[in-house]
Each structure stands twice: as structure tokens, then as C-alpha cells.
């Protein structure tokens, strides 16, 4: 990564432009071309530095429901189970923990009924293909939102 990569990673976290041509705006800030910025972002995705660029919405204010789920999966089936879980459109992320329930994920759904149906179908599929246990559904009682952003600019420039 060069200094432009570092600055770009920091800007897209903190100040992604809302514009018809956001990559052009980013290019102007960085003193490069829109094509160069698009190439860098593509490389970030290909190298796993970023997964996506998109808005973050308050799903509850939009009428959706969300939950945290956990499931026990045999170690040799975690990759397959994660693939199945991540294929669901409402899954925002998953992670592995060293615990009896070793695979955790979050699910956002348009309604509680849809969430229940999704979890019912997912549990059935995971039990058949990944020898998993029952999915534990852990909806939040209180929500604490922590905003995490990383300053990738080692030069410490002001953006």
C-alpha cells in the first residue's frame, strides 16, 4: 500500500462523498484520476481489504427487525455452514468463536415472522448439510452502537 491507498481507505470510511460521481470527487481530493481511484478500490476488494462500499442504515427505523444468532457447528463443517449463512440476503456478517456455539451471525429481516421463517429454514438446512445444532436466537434487549473507523493514513494527514 502506498500513501494514496492509505488516504483513500481513510476517506472512504469517514467522508465518502454523496455525489453522482463519488470516485471523481475522491480523485480530486487525492490528486489523481477517477480511473485510478476505481482501480484502487477494485484492488482493495480483490485483496480482501474491504468487502463493500455502501450506506449504513438504521434497520429498526426502516421497520426491520434484527437479531444475533449462534449455532454449534463441527469444526470441519464451519466453512460450509458459513457459506450457507452468508448466502442469505439479510446476513450482515458472521464470525467464529472458541465456544460451544462457535459460529455467530447477525440477521436483518423485514418482519419478525420473516425472521422466524428464515431461521427455521436455515436451521433445517444447516442440520442436514453441516451437522449443526439448534440455532440460538438472541435478539437485543438494548442496543449500543459503537462506530468504528480506522485511520489508515500513516502520515497522519488531515482529510
Per-10-residue mean pLDDT, the chain, length 159: 92 90 97 97 92 82 94 96 94 93 96 96 94 93 73 62
Dist. CA 73–CA 101, nearest whole Å: 7
**Residue 125, pLDDT score:** 95
What are the grid coordinates assigned to 104, written together?
455467530
**Residue 40, pLDDT score:** 97
Neighbours of 140 (CB within 10 A): 12
3-state helix, strand and coil shares in percent for the chain, rounded to the nearest 5 = 40, 15, 45
Is residue 64 within 8 A of residue 110, CB to CB? The reply is yes
**Residue 140, pLDDT score:** 86
**Residue 1, pLDDT score:** 87
**Residue 155, pLDDT score:** 67
**Residue 136, pLDDT score:** 96
**Residue 51, pLDDT score:** 83
**Residue 101, pLDDT score:** 96
What are the grid coordinates assigned to 156, written together?
497522519
pTM, full prediction: 0.66
Domain 65-138 has CATH 3.30.70.3460: yes
Amino acid at each position: 500500500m502506498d500513501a494514496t491507498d492509505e488516504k483513500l481507505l481513510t476517506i472512504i470510511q469517514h467522508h465518502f462523498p454523496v455525489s453522482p460521481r463519488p470516485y471523481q470527487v475522491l480523485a480530486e481530493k487525492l490528486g489523481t484520476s477517477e480511473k485510478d481511484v476505481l482501480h484502487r478500490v477494485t484492488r482493495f476488494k480483490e485483496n480482501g481489504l474491504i468487502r463493500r462500499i455502501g450506506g449504513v442504515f438504521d434497520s429498526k427505523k426502516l421497520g426491520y427487525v434484527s437479531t444475533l444468532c449462534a449455532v454449534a457447528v463441527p469444526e470441519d463443517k464451519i466453512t460450509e455452514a458459513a457459506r450457507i449463512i452468508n448466502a442469505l440476503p439479510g446476513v450482515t456478517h458472521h464470525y467464529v468463536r472458541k465456544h460451544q456455539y462457535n459460529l455467530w451471525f447477525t440477521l436483518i429481516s423485514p418482519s419478525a415472522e420473516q425472521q422466524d421463517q428464515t431461521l427455521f429454514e436455515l436451521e433445517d438446512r444447516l442440520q442436514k448439510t453441516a451437522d449443526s445444532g439448534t440455532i440460538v436466537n438472541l435478539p437485543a434487549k438494548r442496543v449500543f452502537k459503537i462506530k468504528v473507523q480506522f485511520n489508515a493514513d500513516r502520515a497522519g494527514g488531515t482529510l
